[in-house]
Structure 1
Amino acid sequence: MSDQSAEGAGNTGPRPADPEARGVRLVVVLLSLTVVSGLIDAVSYLGLGHVFTANMTGNVVVLGFAAAGAPGFSIPHTSASLACFLVGAAVGGRIAGRYGGGSRRTWAQVTLTAEAVFVGASAVVAFVAPGATATTYALIALTAFAMGLRNATVRKLGVPDLTTTVLTMTLTGLASESAAGDGSGHRSPRRTAAVIAMMVGATLGAWLVIHHGLGIPLLLAAVLAGVLAVATSGRE
C-alpha cells in the first residue's frame, strides 16, 4: 500500500466537531439582543430624560427636538449618548479588525462579554446612586458605549435583517418583499421575530422602570448579554 493510500485509510474516522457550531445560532442570539435593546432604550428614554442609547436614529431626531427648544429634551444628554455610541462603535471596529478574520464565535463572545460588563456597571451605578445628575450621565455613557460596540460587531457579522437596534429597514423589507409586495416573503418570519423581540424588550423594560426603577432592567440586560456571550456559536 502506498503512503498516500495509508494516509487516506487513516482518515476514515469521524471528523472533529466544528468549534464554530457549538452553542446557540447567531440568529437566535441576535434576536435575544434585540430584546436587550428594547430594555436599554426603555431605561434611557423613560428614565434618563428622553434620550436613546441604543437607537441612534431616534437620538438624532431627539437632538433636533432639543435644539428647537421642545420641552423635555436635553442637548447635553443626547449629545453625550451620540458621542459615547460613536466611541463604542470605533472600538467595535478595532475589535472586528482583530478578530474578524478568525473565529466568529470568539469575536461574538468578546464583544458580548464587553457589553455585559459595561451594562452591568451601569446597573451597579443605578443601584448605588439613583437619581443623581452624575448617575444620569454615567448610565448614558456606559449603555451608549456598549450599544455602539455591539452595533459595530453586528454590522460586520452581516446577518441579514437582524441589526438588533433599529427596525425601519426590517419593517420596510417585511412589507415590500412580502407576497403583497414584490417578493415571496421568505424572510418574513425572521423580520417578524425581530419586531416582536424589540416590542417584548421595550414593554418589559418600561414596566420594570415604572415599577422598580432603573437598576433591575439594566441588571437583566447585563445578565442576558452575559449568558449570550457564553452560549453563542459562530454559525448563522
Structure 2
Amino acid sequence: MATSPAPRSSLPGLLLFLSATTGLVDAASVLGLGKVFTANMTGNIVFLGFAAVGTPGFKVAPFVVAIAAFMLGALIAGRVGTAHASLPLRHWLIRAAIVETVLLWIAAGIALVLHVPSQDPQWAVFAIIALTAVAMGFRNATVRQLKVPDLTTTVLTLTVTGIAADSKLAGGAGANLGRRIGAIVSIFAGAAVGAVLVMHSGLAAPLALAGLMVLVGTLVCARHPSAALPRTA
C-alpha cells in the first residue's frame, strides 16, 4: 500500500520572514540606543572591546547588558525547546512567538517615553536593550534547535561565506543559493525599513512592527500540515 509523502516543511519560509525582523530590531537598537546591537552579538563584542580601552562614543554598560540579556533569552529558549521536543511543532513555535512578541511590544511601549537624541530617561534605554536582547536570544536558540540550514535569521557571515565557497566558481554545486540570498535580502530590507521608521516615527514603530510580524508569520506557519509533527519526527 502506497504511503502519502511527508508534508513539506514551512519552516524555511517562516525563517526568511523572521530574518526581516532582525533588521527592524537592530535598526532600532543601533540607531536609537547608542550603537548597540540586540540581535547580533558579534558587533557587541567588538564594540565592548572599543569601550574597554576608552574609545570615545562607546560605553561598557549597554554592551554588557545586551550580551547578558541575550544569553538569558537563549538559556530560557533552550529549556523551552527541550520541553517541546516530542510535542507538535506548532505548539513550540506559537509559544516561542508569543514570548518574542510580548517582549518586543513591551519594549515598543517603553520606547514611547524615550527621547532618543538625549537618551533620556536612561532606565528606558537599558530596559529596551534588555527586552529586545532577551527576545533575540530566545529567537536564536529556538532557531538553532530547529536546525534549518543557512537560516539563522540573525547572522549572515556564514551565509555570505557559503555563497562564495560553495559556488560553481569555487568548484561547488551552489547549494541553497536561493535560500542564502533570500536571507541576505530579508535582513537588508528589514534594516532599511527599520531605519526609515526610526528616522520618521521613533523607536516604537519598528519594534511594534517586528512583534506583529513574528506573531502573524508564526501563526501562518503553524497552520501548515508539517507543523502538526514533532520536531524530532
Task: Report how far residue 218 of structure 1 moved.
Answer: 0.7
* Paired AA for residue 73 in structure 1: F
Are 2:191 and 1:202 equivalent residues in the alignment? yes
Are 2:111 and 1:122 equivalent residues in the alignment? no
Quote the residue 1:168 is aligned against: 157
1:1-236, aligned counterparts within 5 Å?
Answer: 25-130=10-115, 131-233=120-222, 235=226
Query: C-alpha separation between the residues in 1 aligned to 2:193 and 2:157?
Result: 21
Contact 1:109 1:232 in 2 (8 A): no
Contact 1:29 1:228 in 2 (8 A): yes
Task: Report how far residue 129 of structure 1 moved.
Answer: 4.4
Task: Report how far residue 182 of structure 1 moved.
Answer: 2.5
Q: Secondary structure at the match of 2:91?
A: helix
* Paired AA for residue 34 in structure 1: S
Query: C-alpha separation between the residues in 2 aligned to 1:141 and 1:174?
Result: 33
Regions of 4+ moved over 3 Å? 128-131, 233-236
Contact 1:51 1:73 in 2 (8 A): no
Task: Report how far residue 181 of structure 1 moved.
Answer: 1.3
Contact 2:104 2:208 in 1 (8 A): yes
How many percent identity over aligned positions? 44
Contact 2:114 2:125 in 1 (8 A): no
Task: Report how far residue 72 of structure 1 moved.
Answer: 1.6
Residues 76-131 of structure 1: CA distance to partner in whole angstroms, max 9, x if unpaired? 00000000000000000000110023222211111111100100110111114444
Quote the residue 1:12 is aligned against: none
Q: Secondary structure at the match of 1:180?
A: helix
Greater Rg, structure 1 or structure 2? 1
Task: Report how far residue 203 of structure 1 moved.
Answer: 0.8
Q: Secondary structure at the match of 1:71?
A: coil
* Number of aligned residues: 220
Q: Secondary structure at the match of 2:19?
A: helix
Query: Which runs of no fewer than 5 residues in structure 2 stay unpaired?
Result: 228-233
TM score, norm. by length of structure 1: 0.87
Query: Which runs of no fewer than 5 residues in structure 1 stay unpaired?
Result: 1-7, 9-14
